[in-house]
Amino acid sequence: MRVLITGGAGFVGSHLVDHYLRRGDEVIVIDNLITGQEENIGQHIDNKKLKFIKQDVCDVTEVKGNVDLILHFACPASPFEYQKYPIETLRVMSFGTYNMLELARIKNAKFLLASTSEVYGDPEVHPQKEDYFGNVNLLSPRAVYDEGKRFAETLTLSYFRKFNLSIGIVRIFNTYGERMHSEDGRVIPSFISEALKNKPLPIFGDGSQTRSFCYISDMVNAITKAAQIDYPMPMNLGNPAEYTILQLADIVKRLCPSQSEYEFLPLPDSDPKKRKPDISKAKKLLGWEPKIGLEQGLKKVIEWFRRKK
C-alpha cells in the first residue's frame, strides 16, 4: 500500500509513519514543519520506502504515482500554536483539506481526516457523543482551530455525498506520548518538563476542569483501524478515563518525582470545562478500546523526556 500522511513530521503523524513503515508499506510525508520536526521521522532517513516532501499542503495539487490512502493530519494542534498561526490554521483546514480531497478523488484513494474533540467547543453535553453539535464560540481566538476542523469535516462529507469518495473522520481527544515538545503549551509535556526541573506547574483556572488523555499507541491503533473500515461519519477516538487538571498535576509530580509547586494562572477564553469522549461507536465499529492507563503512559513519556534532556 502507498500511504500519504500530511503532517507526518508532527507528533501523531510521525507515529503513524512508524506504523505503516513497520508493516512494509510505502509512505509519503508532506509537511512544511510549521510545528513539526524532521527529527521525528529521522530514524527512517535511510528507508527507501519513505519519501519526505517539505511543502505546505495548501500548495500541493499533484503527487507522482499511485496513492491508496491519505491521512490528513497537517494542522497546528496545540492552543498555543494555532493561536500563534491563526491564518495558517484556517488555510490548512480549508485549502489544504480541499487539495487533499481532490487528490484522493483523482487517485481513487481513501481519505481520513484528523478532526478533534474541539468541534464540541465548551460542551454542554457530557460525555460527548458524535451526534452532539457542539458549543463553539466562533468569535473566540480558539475558533480558528474549532471552526477550521468543523469546516474540514463538512467539506470531507461533501466529497462523500457528491463523489461517493471513501472517507473517514476521526475526532481525536487529547492524546499524549513521546515526541511532543515541551514548548507547545499542551498540558502533559508542559507539566512533565517543568516537574523534571522542579519548576512551578502552570495551572489555568482552579484546575477543576477535566480532560481525558489517550496514550499514543492506543490512538495509532484506533486511527489505523478506522482507516480500514468503510464508515463516512465522524467517530470519537480517545480514552474516556477523566481527570481534573489538578489530579493530573499531582500524578505527574508523584511519578517524576518532583518538588514543583503550582502556579495558578487565569483561565483562557472559551477553555472547555469538561472533556470526555463517548467511544461506544469506536468500540462497536473498530472492536477497539484503549489499553494503556494514564500512569502507565505517563511513566513512558516521563522517561522519554528524561532521556531527551
Rounded to the nearest 10 degrees, the angle between the axes of helix 11-22 and helix 216-226 is: 60
Residue (of 152, 15, 13, 184) closest to 85 by Cα position = 184
Residue span 101-140 as binding mask against ligand NAD, x where in contact by CB under 6 A, dash where not: -------------x-x------------------------
Contacting range for ligand NAD; rule: CB under 6 A; set: 97-105, 170-178, 192-200, 271-279: 170-178
- When binding is defined by CB under 6 A, the residue of 4, 7, 16, 142 that contacts ligand NAD is 7
- When binding is defined by CB under 6 A, the residue of 2, 10, 169, 222 that contacts ligand NAD is 10
Question: DSSP string spanning 53-101?
Answer: E-S-GGG----SS--SEEEE--S--SHHHHHHSHHHHHHIIIIIHHHHH
DSSP code, position 290: -
Say how far apart CA 196 and CA 194 lie, in whole Å: 5
The reply to whether 236 sits near ligand NAD by the rule CB under 6 A is no
Q: Pick the catalytic residue: 20, 120, 145, 215?
A: 145
Say how far apart CA 287 and CA 264 lie, in whole Å: 41
In degrees rounded to 5, what are phi and psi of residue 228?
Answer: -95, -15
Contacting range for ligand NAD; rule: CB under 6 A; set: 25-33, 251-259, 265-273, 280-288: 25-33
Query: Is there a catalytic annotation at residue 262?
Result: no
Residue found under cell 481527570: 243
Residue closer to ligand NAD, measured from CB, 52 or 159: 52
Say how far apart CA 150 and CA 79 lie, in whole Å: 16
| Beta pairing, strands 110-116 & 167-172 | parallel
What is the smallest separation between the CB atom of 198 and ligand NAD, expressed in angstroms? 26
- When binding is defined by CB under 6 A, the residue of 3, 4, 5, 73 that contacts ligand NAD is 73
* Binding to ligand NAD, residues 263-282 (CB under 6 A): none
Contacting range for ligand NAD; rule: CB under 6 A; set: 127-135, 169-177, 267-275, 277-285: 169-177
Please give the residue ranges that form the binding site for ligand NAD (CB under 6 A).
Answer: 6-7, 9-13, 30-36, 56-58, 73-77, 92, 96, 114, 116, 172, 174-175
Residues noted as catalytic: 145
